[in-house]
Structures are given as structure tokens and as C-alpha cells.
Structure 1
């Protein structure tokens, strides 16, 4: 494969008017960038993006997609409901380890086939030629659903965080309504889409400082909680105290639902791979960013979970009751038990500050989330996989960004969150399908890699541990994907039913039907629509 790529790369690429998107480069960096561009051309794509992301900014980008501090604040409720302290800790240790080994496997694949299509593009090279078009088609739509659901849940959680801070500041005299949450979410999504319409260098600068800000907030929160909490629990309590509240029998089974927290936190593990066409030396930089960011997030999440458990008080269920008791309509704040924990331990002013800090971090999760999602739409469009492809594969010359793809993606996010105005059960089903959709899109190339043996590794790889890591990732994440379809509470009612399976089956039926009615007549796989890839429009901005 490597030899074939090198030979293909010697063929001059088609002439493309790249406007002002060709950056000036030093000679040493220019060589690496030229090699990356040649590799991309060998995969069937014409380079159109500036390569602005360095090793550090790529790592920071990958870290921002995890957003441990804010992600834990938003999803801590799963472990709390699953069994309190012990469920929170062990679900993070086991579920996080499963997510970590998956991320390592994806990093290896990203090194071998670096493109903004990530696993969708990888699948072309590891699946049998006769099956690759159908598998890539299905993977493309499943990936897109996972990305939209993930970004929608991030924007929604960000809105909840902001309004929770306002509610605490008002001593709960203000109660956010569903319409308030949706309105703030829509405004935030517009802001984030506007930022993603800027040149790549601005996104590079924004993400570069993320790690320092995020870690400063995380460490400050941990220190304040440990200093101010008078009656802290012991380490033994954190790992042994199990208080099931889900109603499942046997109760120990319920702890698996706590794995939703690490799965959601590290769900978009290959998100950094989606900036491969905007990163310098992506075959090395991107996999290192994925592996190091996920490892760091796993360790930081374990520390933050431990601090929260030590400081949460004797009655975990009280964290689920108190905010809703403060206001009859405050149904959104109850999803933010960590904010209440801050309130109890630190008082209202610090609680508002750390909740707003979580809001800021969550925004910094959403911005690269929109970028990763829009790059995926751009990739699918240049392969003619989605409707309106001629428009969605356009790159604006002034910003060097696929602006149409950015705003269509933002529109999809807002549309999904419209469900929240109709039913919290419906919107929860879409959010829950995020981790499952990502897992399926990840497992497809990993299974093909192990079964068909067509994989040619890149400069970053797992060596002799590759097969074992891939197998562990597929087995664990396949298992938890089934768990994520189950309702988190019993007895099951219309309100607590998990309809994620309905959403996922709908996606499978839609994408497969669209394949048989349209796709199979013209779609031949990633990078094979040579006319489209050679003629990606670089549209001037008036």
C-alpha cells in the first residue's frame, strides 16, 4: 500500500484554483506539508485547506473535544443514578479504559490514512473492494448522525449550564423553561458556527490556549472542594459504597449505565482525525494528539470523579432531588448535580463561578465539535454521498473554510434540539444514540482490519499490541453499545423509556434505502469521485 501511494503521488494533481488558501511555509515545514498533500492526492483528494494545526494545537484540539470538566458536570448524573460513589468510580475506570483502548486503535488507523473523513475514509482501505462502497456509505451516515447528536447534546448541555448558573445566582427564583434552554442553545450554535466560518488560523489560536484554561479550572475546582468540604468521605468509601437507585435487578448491573459518562466524554475519539487535512505532518501529529489527549483526559477524569465523590455528602439521591425541589419547573437544573455539589460545599458565588467555568469549557468543546462535523459534511459532499453536494463541498477563498457545510451542520444541530420543545424523552433518545453511532462507525473499520488483513500501518502504530487492542476495543464497545439501548431506570414508563434504538434503526433504514435507490448507481467509495475532488470550488467572498 505504501509503495502504491508513493507511486500515485508522483502523478501531478489536477490544476485547482486555490485562491488565497496556499500559505507561505519554511523550507523544512514545506517538505512535510508537501508529503502530506501528496499522500492526500494519492488517496484521491485535492488538498484545499491550509495546514495550520501544529503538534500542540492538534493536542489541544483533541483535548477540547473531550472537555473533561464540563463533560463530567453534564453526564455525572448517569453514574449517580447507577449506584452513587462506587458506580461513578468503577464505571469511569472500566468504561474509560474501554474508551482509551478504542482511541489508541483509532489513532493507529488515522496515522495510516490521514484525511478529514477519518474512519469513513479508512474503511475504504481495510474492507474488501466489493463491499467497501456499501460499508462506507453506511458508515458515512452513521458517523454524521453521531456527530450531529453529539454536538446537539453539547450545545444543549452548555445552555443548561448557563441557565443553571443564573438559577443559582437568583437563589432559584428563576426557573429555566424548555423554551429558554432552546433559545440559548440556538444562539450559542449560531455563535459557534460564525467562529467556524473564520480562517483556520483563528481556530488554531483559539484551541491552542484551551488546555491551560481547562486544567486551571479543573485544578482550582478540585482544590476548593477539598479545602472547603468539612466532612469528606474516605478513599474506601469512594470505591465501595454502592447505593443503587435505578431499580434494576441485580442492582450491580446498573453500574454499567455509569459507563455512559466516559463514553460520552471520550466519544468523539477520532475527532482530531477530521483536521488531518489542516494539520502539519498529520500521519504523526494527529495520532499522537488522539492518544495523548485521551490518556490525559482519562487520568484527569479519574481525579475529578474522585474529588467529587469524596465531597458529595452522605445521600447521593439528594443531589438528584434538591434542585428540582427548589423550583417546580426547574427540570433542567436537576441534570446538573455537580452544580449543586458546588453550591453545598462552596456557597452560591463560587458555585456560580465554577458552573460558568463549565459553561465556558463546554463552549470550547462545541466549537471544535462544529468544526469536526462540518469537515465530515464537506468530505461526504466531495464524494457525492449527501444531497446538495455541489454546494456543501465549496470552500470559501477568504476563510479557507467550507462555510456552507458549517452552516448546514449548525442547522442540523438546531433542528435536532427542536425535539426538546416537544419531548424530553425524544431529545434524550437522540443524545443517547451519539455514543452508539460513534462506536458502530469505529468498530466497522476495526473488524475489517482484523478479519481481512488489508491494513498497512502508518508511522504511528501499536506494534505487536495492535490486534489485542483492536479486539478489546471491539468487544468492550460492542457490549456497552447494547447496554446504552436499555432504559436506565425500571420500572419502564413512557417518560423514562430509552428510544435510542428507534432512532438508530431509523438511521439504518434510511441510509440503506437511500443506498439501494440512489447510492449504488453512482457511489464507488471515498476518493473515487475524481471529477468532484479535482474541481472543488473555491468560492470568492464578496
Structure 2
């Protein structure tokens, strides 16, 4: 295929107002005669990564991004406060259906357009040219906000888990302060930065064992809890007892806040898409990994929650106000004793580190992809590829420094840092459902074609439910979780979300719109090649 004939207009065009290179003629069409890099070229991008992620490493990456075992431990308080036993069990089962619909919808789009930009790139072929730049700009910034908040919150939780383990080892006589958490957090994020400065080949080798270790710990924990618990709750209590601690009435409304736990655990669906340019046969392997990993997360997460409710006892206030800072850590201590709880808290810390490493890897590729299209300030610096590792090392350390700086807010205000963390699910989910909605509205008009992995006739109903579900839970996620509302328990997520969106729009109208035309064609632009090796 003559690449210049495909991209002639895009290569020569210098006027940003002319959107010829953005027409759907550039959309990915499955062609088995082309290798993976040629398919990337068809979408308009010059290959710069080495495709060294194996099938198992891709699945392991997708499964570990949720941090199932560890994230349930760190988010258990949401459904516990929302409605007690029944909220923990049923909010996961019900909310997981909505999350699965989003995940499967994302997987379809990843199959159609497997690039490091993830769903941000899909706007190029799903939105009419006149509206495409501003829509892709919004999606890109929402995705970046969600990922940065996700990395920051993951590593903050890592620090909390490690210090909780220290507290257990000292028989609860040690109480970590915010300064301790910030110090450990900075060390953890820096460590993740060093890991992500390695080559794709080394990242593949490291990632391979994540899923196996994660599953082994999860099953071992459930078996130990069931074997060592002396006083089980009854089945009636587990599945029907509603005891809201939130202060919201009626109880049914309070129950809705339990969806926060599953939404935080089952998110970042497109993380695997951001390493698509490092995966062989990414149009198949990436969506397969997303679908399988999220399916396992959904099923095993529900089972793990049921086990925790059976063994947690009935003193919910005591769990919620645990000196360990985590209700599940208190459950471990009560059921497994000092040594058992210490071991499984350390395992949780290790697993959440897997999530931190994979989240940072995905986020660095997102920064690279957005910079490639000049969507970030000083873009020319962030998309450079290191000549030794052939990975975006500068983007990794930009991410590292920004997340440490963001978490320093926790020194002064726990409420502010929790507000930043709580926007993770909202921002990420909207960065997914906007392209999904555009596919539903404009797909036929833009000649959208399914990738090799798709849902067939189920595609449209699943897409519709994903959009409807996100619209519904987003209202819940920005409301205060506890009443009466005070400055300490106020949900500031909407403030943070509005501030970032306002910044992105001001940046857009102040001049970025003059140069930004959406995902760009950069193939064969040797004289202006942005992918310089350091």
C-alpha cells in the first residue's frame, strides 16, 4: 500500500482549520495482509514502540490494573457505611453489571482502534469533523485527569496499607500520621517510576507474574478466613441486613452509595489500550484481555465480598472506626490474628504496587499520545522516546513528579486529597462513555466498522446500558456520602472536576484551539518528526 497516497492531504496540510486528514477514510480497517505496525500507519501514526508484550503479560496487565484484592480492602468502607452487609453484597453484583457493560464497550472500540491514545483517539473517527477537535480535547483531558487521580490514589493507598501492617506488627500502638503516609507514598511512587523507566521487554517479564500471584493470594485469603473464623454471620444477615451508617434516608437511597466501591475497583478499563502499540495483534489481544480480566474481577470480587461479610461480625461501627484505618484490616486482625493479618496486609501492599506500576505505565503512554497530538502544554518535551529503552521515560517522570506533588495536598487537608481521589471513576468513565455515545449517535454516519473483536448483535444494547449507567451513578458519586454534611465530610469531587475542566477549556480558548486539530497524522513527516530519541 502506498502510504503517501493515503495520507497525502494530512502530510502536506499546514492549516489547522482544514480537517481533511481527520475524515473517517483514515479509520482502521482489518486487513490481514498488513502487519501490526502497518495497521498503525493506516491510522496515521508512525510506529515507535517495540511490540514485546506477550498474550499472558497483556492479560496480567489488564487484571492487575484493578488491584481486585487490594482495592476491595481499601474501598470496603463505602458499601459498609452505605448499607452494611446487604449493600456490600448487592451493590457489587448490581454495580458490576454496569461496569461490565462499560468494559465490553471499551473493548470493542479498542479492537477497532488499537493505539496508545485509547478511546481518546477513537473520537477522530466517531465524531463529525467540525466537532471532533473539541470533543477529543474534552475526552483526552478527562482521561488524563482520571488516570492521574488513579495513580495518586493507588500509591496513597499503598502507603496506608504498609503503615497499617506496621501498626499491626506493633499491636496497634502505632498510629500513622498524614506525614508518614506522604513520606511512604513519595518513596512508593518513585519506585514505580524506576520500574517504568525500563524497556518494554523488561516490563513484559515483570508483568507476567502479577496475575498468578494476585489470584494465589486472593484464594489463600478466602480459604484462611473461612477456615479460621469462629463466629460466622448467618446467610439471612449477609444477604438481607441493611444498616446504613451514612445518615441518608431512606435506607434505599443510602444503599446507592455502595456503588462507589465496585466503581473504584472496576475502572481504568482502557489502560490496556494505552499499551496497544507494544502488543502483537493488539486488535485482538488487547480487547480479549480487557474482557477476560474484568469478568474475573467481577465474579471473584463478588465472592470475596461475600466471604468478608460472612466473617466480619455485626459490630459495623467498630469496623468503620477501626484504629487500623481500614475495616478489612480489622477483620483480618480479628479473624486471623496478628501474624495472619500482617501477612495478608503485606500481600495487599504488594498487589497494590502492581496496580501502581501498571497504572503509571498506562498514564505515561497517555501523556505520550496526547503530546503526540499537541494536546498538552509543552508537548514537544513529553513525547520524546528514550533511545535505550524505546519508551517515553520523560513522560514517566512527569507523571511521577506530578503525582507526588498532588499527594502533598494530603499534608494539609485529608478532605481535599480524598476529593481528588474520588474523581477517578467519574473522570475515567466519562472519558469512555462520550466516545461510546458518539459511536451510537454518529457511528453509521461516520462509517464506523467493528474491529475483529466485537459483541455482534449485543453491541448496541450493551453500549446503551453503559451510557445510561454512567449517567445515573455520576449523580451519586458527586453527592456527599455522609449526612449531616460538614466541611470535613463534604464530597469535593465536583469542585476538583470542575476546576480541571475549567482549566482545560480556558487553555483551549486561550490559544490551544488554534493549533490542536485532534489526533494528527505524523507518518513520513521526517522533517518534523516529533519522536526524537533522547
Measured in 1, the distance between the counterparts of 2:2 and 2:79 equals 49
Residue 372 (structure 2) pairs with residue 382 (structure 1)? yes
**Residues matched between the structures, number:** 511
Measured in 2, the distance between the counterparts of 1:275 and 1:7 equals 28
The aligned residue for residue 471 of structure 1 is 464
Measured in 2, the distance between the counterparts of 1:246 and 1:488 equals 6
List aligned pairs for 1:280-429, cutoff 5 A: 280-323=280-323, 333-334=324-325, 336-429=326-419
CA offset digits 1:498-539 (Å, max 9, x no partner): 011011111121111111112211111112456499613342
The aligned residue for residue 265 of structure 1 is 265
Note the C-alpha offset of 1:237.
2.1
Paired residues of 2:522 and 2:529 also in contact (CA < 8 A): no
The aligned residue for residue 515 of structure 1 is 508
Q: What TM-score comes out, normalization by structure 1 length? A: 0.91
Note the C-alpha offset of 1:235.
2.8
**Counterparts in 2 of 1:352 and 1:100: CA distance versus 1, 3 Å:** same
CA offset digits 1:214-243 (Å, max 9, x no partner): 011001100000010011123332210111
Q: 3-state DSSP class of the match of 1:385?
A: coil
Measured in 2, the distance between the counterparts of 1:397 and 1:495 equals 48
Aligned with 1:502 (options 495, 505, 509): 495
Q: 3-state DSSP class of the match of 1:270?
A: helix
CA offset digits 1:92-151 (Å, max 9, x no partner): 011111111110000000000010100100111111111010111111111111000011
Measured in 2, the distance between the counterparts of 1:303 and 1:397 equals 46
Paired residues of 1:67 and 1:365 also in contact (CA < 8 A): yes
The aligned residue for residue 28 of structure 2 is none
Q: 3-state DSSP class of the match of 2:82?
A: helix
The aligned residue for residue 48 of structure 2 is 48
Measured in 2, the distance between the counterparts of 1:231 and 1:488 equals 30
Measured in 1, the distance between the counterparts of 2:526 and 2:185 equals 35
Aligned with 2:455 (options 462, 475, 483): 462
**Counterparts in 2 of 1:309 and 1:225: CA distance versus 1, 3 Å:** same
Q: 3-state DSSP class of the match of 1:496?
A: coil
Paired residues of 1:527 and 1:533 also in contact (CA < 8 A): no
The aligned residue for residue 242 of structure 2 is 242
Measured in 2, the distance between the counterparts of 1:284 and 1:10 equals 29
Note the C-alpha offset of 1:478.
1.3
Paired residues of 1:248 and 1:254 also in contact (CA < 8 A): yes
**356-365 or 517-526: which moved more?**
517-526
Uncovered stretches (5+) of structure 1, i.e. residues with no partner: 15-30, 324-332
Measured in 1, the distance between the counterparts of 2:50 and 2:8 equals 21
Paired residues of 1:384 and 1:529 also in contact (CA < 8 A): no
**Counterparts in 2 of 1:221 and 1:452: CA distance versus 1, 3 Å:** same
**525-534 or 127-136: which moved more?**
525-534
CA offset digits 1:364-419 (Å, max 9, x no partner): 00001000000000001111111121111110111111010000011111111111
Uncovered stretches (5+) of structure 2, i.e. residues with no partner: 13-30
Measured in 2, the distance between the counterparts of 1:386 and 1:532 equals 22
The aligned residue for residue 452 of structure 1 is 442
Residue 117 (structure 2) pairs with residue 124 (structure 1)? no
The aligned residue for residue 536 of structure 1 is 530
**Counterparts in 2 of 1:7 and 1:347: CA distance versus 1, 3 Å:** farther
The aligned residue for residue 20 of structure 1 is none
Residue 113 (structure 2) pairs with residue 113 (structure 1)? yes
Write out the 4+ residue segments of structure 1 that deviate beyond 6 Å after TM superposition.
3-7
**450-459 or 350-359: which moved more?**
450-459
Q: 3-state DSSP class of the match of 2:314?
A: coil
List aligned pairs for 1:57-72, cutoff 5 A: 57-72=57-72
List aligned pairs for 1:169-208, cutoff 5 A: 169-208=169-208
Note the C-alpha offset of 1:173.
1.7
Q: What TM-score comes out, normalization by structure 2 length? A: 0.92
Measured in 2, the distance between the counterparts of 1:167 and 1:209 equals 29
Measured in 2, the distance between the counterparts of 1:120 and 1:190 equals 27
Measured in 2, the distance between the counterparts of 1:131 and 1:217 equals 48
Paired residues of 1:45 and 1:533 also in contact (CA < 8 A): no
**Counterparts in 2 of 1:319 and 1:236: CA distance versus 1, 3 Å:** same
Paired residues of 2:7 and 2:521 also in contact (CA < 8 A): no
